[in-house]
Amino acid sequence: MSKTRIFALSVVAFLLIAVFTNPSKEQHQQAVKEKVTELLKKETGGSDKNIVDFGMHLFGNTLVQQFMDQHVIVENYYLFSVTKVSWQRKETIIGGGAFKHIFLSPKIDEKAAEIIRIIKEG
């Protein structure tokens, strides 16, 4: 086989692997949900950890799920996917996914701090 054919077959194999291992929307949402839950726990402080966990169990999961449904957007480009947060008519890319891995950007921390600040101000 010629080098050209080997290269072409390698590229096709790479593209097929990328398509079939692209994370699903649910996987993106689960990764963001875990990060948001972690940020909420961190924002509420370390004291009274049991009360915070109980509150998160009762109300936090509902709040996080509502946030996910209304503000988190996953765009699938077949070879990779992008996770965005839509807040106040602005979309910010907070992560991406490829090959069964989801990579969240440090921007998620900045965006979460901005959202929490806006919510606290009223």
Q: Give every CB contact of residue 112 below 8 A, 6+ residues apart in sequence.
A: 36, 39, 43
Give the model's pLDDT for residue 65: 76
Contact 71, 84 (CB under 8 A): no
| 66/59 Cα distance (integer angstroms) | 11
Q: Which residue has the tokens 């979460």?
A: 112
- In this prediction, residue 20 carries a pLDDT of 94
Going residue by residue through the chain (122 aa), what tens digit of pLDDT does each one get? 799 999 999 999 999 999 999 999 899 888 888 887 777 677 666 555 666 566 666 665 677 777 778 888 899 999 999 999 887 788 888 899 999 999 988 877 777 777 666 665 65
